[in-house]
Amino acid sequence: MVAMPLFGLKKGGKTMRKYLYSENGFVEKAEWKPNCWVNVECPDDNDFQFLTQELKVPESFLEDIADTDERPRTDTEGNWLLTILRIPVVNKQNGSLPFDTVPIGIITNNEIIVSVCYHNTDLLPDFIEHTRRKGIVVRNKLDLIFRLIYSSAVWFLKYLKQINIDISAAEKELERSIRNEDLLRLMRLQKTLVYFNTSIRGNEVMIGKLRTIFQDTDYLDTELVEDVIIELKQALNTVNIYSDILTGTTDAFASIISNNVNTIMKRMTSLSIILMVPTLIASFYGMNVPIYMEDMPHGFVVIILLSILLSATAFFIFRNCLLYTSPSPRD
């Protein structure tokens, strides 16, 4: 495939179509022609009509891509092949995960390549600009799919660096004061890493399936496939490293919280026992029975001093016990 136009759609509510041909990078042309790559982001009714009526794309493929939980897989219908990948995106909803993954579908036959994503992403514009900057020629549909997988791995790594920065910032905040907001922030980052892990693994499995499908064709570029595998493995290893770090950090702060709770409980227990001594003595003298020292002129003062003495004794005993059982800084 020498020339492959790209069909780009609406931005900011305004329908916009671009036809980009792969020469030394993608070059914009004035009109759409057969043997093209049609890229659709956030399709509307006009886009759906264009794909299903003019290009004859199976509607079932578009419905599968619209499912936000769709996992990476392949499917066929007639001479059409559907390849679904998961790509990372920034989640702009407040109080939600900082990053997420969404499905992108690449639908191909012998003459047409269509990519459909129901979310706005930075990946595709960056991919097009990268091909222009590097003068990359996309030779065929399989070459395009593998380069999109490679680009997804690059963006996974880019977002993972931001996640690492967020983890470090949350750790510094927790070192100053343990707050629920910072703990929830770490929890959201942990969930993001889980989604990244499953998506990268799914994209990695797709490489093997595509190699099997196109093994008897001239489309397969072994060197490109190896580069894609290496990049995906690097992204997966980075996810595992950050996930282990985050798990260790969460466990450490959980231990600190548990230790603080135990210390507070010890102090509250000691305080309740100390206050129990004068309460017990006072309860004895509240009974309606004759009690020793009730007729003494200074009996009340003696009882008060005795209560103070016993409470102070209990205080020093429990204080020494707490100091003895508390771990030293060297431990």
Q: 84-126: per-residue pLDDT in tens?
A: 999 999 988 766 789 999 999 999 988 888 899 998 889 988 9
Is 189 a member of any domain? yes
The CATH number for 30's domain is 3.30.460.20
Q: Which residues pair with 82 in a beta bridge?
A: 75, 107
Q: Are residues 39 and 168 in the same domain?
A: yes
| CA distances from residue 139 to 144, 215, 218 in whole angstroms, order as listed | 8, 16, 11
Is 273 a member of any domain? no
**pLDDT level of residue 331 (50, 70, 90 thresholds):** very low
| Pairing status of strand 99-108 against strand 80-90 | antiparallel
The pair of structure tokens assigned to 203 is: 């994209």
| CA distances from residue 105 to 46, 74, 119, 145, 146 in whole angstroms, order as listed | 18, 9, 12, 10, 13
| Placement of tokens 């060297």 in the chain | 330
**What pLDDT was estimated at residue 80?**
93
Question: Is the pLDDT confidence value at 18 over 50?
Answer: yes
Q: Are 96 and 159 in contact, with CB atoms under 8 Å apart?
A: no
Q: How many CA atoms within 13 Å lie on the side-chain side of 274?
A: 17
Q: Are residues 310 and 197 in the same domain?
A: no
The pair of structure tokens assigned to 44 is: 């509307």
Mean pLDDT of 45-54: 88
Domain total of the chain: 2
**What pLDDT was estimated at residue 323?**
55
Burial bucket for residue 53 (CB in 10 Å: 0-12, 13-18, 19+): exposed
Q: Are residues 248 and 290 in the same domain?
A: no
Question: Is the pLDDT confidence value at 5 over 50?
Answer: no
pLDDT tens, residue by residue, 197-244: 999 999 999 999 999 998 878 888 889 999 999 999 999 999 999 999
Is 262 a member of any domain? no
pLDDT tens, residue by residue, 118-173: 988 899 889 988 988 888 888 888 999 999 999 999 999 999 999 999 988 888 88
Query: Hey, is 146 helix, strand or coil?
Result: helix
Q: Are residues 233 and 318 in the same domain?
A: no
**pLDDT level of residue 14 (50, 70, 90 thresholds):** very low
The more confidently predicted of residues 318 and 77 is 77
What secondary structure letter does DSSP report for 42?
Answer: S
Backbone angles phi, psi at 74, to 5 degrees: -125, 155
Q: Are residues 289 and 186 in the same domain?
A: no
Q: Are residues 158 and 17 in the same domain?
A: yes
What secondary structure letter does DSSP report for 3?
Answer: -
Is 330 a member of any domain? no
Question: Is the pLDDT confidence value at 325 over 70?
Answer: no
Residues in the chain: 331
| CA distances from residue 191 to 125, 160, 264, 312 in whole angstroms, order as listed | 27, 13, 32, 51
- For the chain, the average pLDDT equals 81
**What pLDDT was estimated at residue 191?**
93
**What pLDDT was estimated at residue 9?**
44
Q: What percent of the chain stands above pLDDT 90?
A: 36
The pTM for the full model equals 0.78
Question: Is the pLDDT confidence value at 180 over 60?
Answer: yes
Question: Is the pLDDT confidence value at 13 over 50?
Answer: no
Instruction: Compute the distance between CA of residue 175 and CA of residue 249 in angstroms, rounded to an integer.
Output: 11
Is 275 a member of any domain? no
Is 69 a member of any domain? yes
**What pLDDT was estimated at residue 2?**
41
Q: Are residues 158 and 222 in the same domain?
A: yes
Q: Which domain holds residue 300?
A: 285-325
Name the domain boundary from 256, 275, 304: 256
**What pLDDT was estimated at residue 330?**
38
Q: Are residues 191 and 321 in the same domain?
A: no
Is 268 a member of any domain? no
Q: Are residues 319 and 223 in the same domain?
A: no
Q: Are residues 299 and 225 in the same domain?
A: no
Q: What percent of the chain stands above pLDDT 70?
A: 81
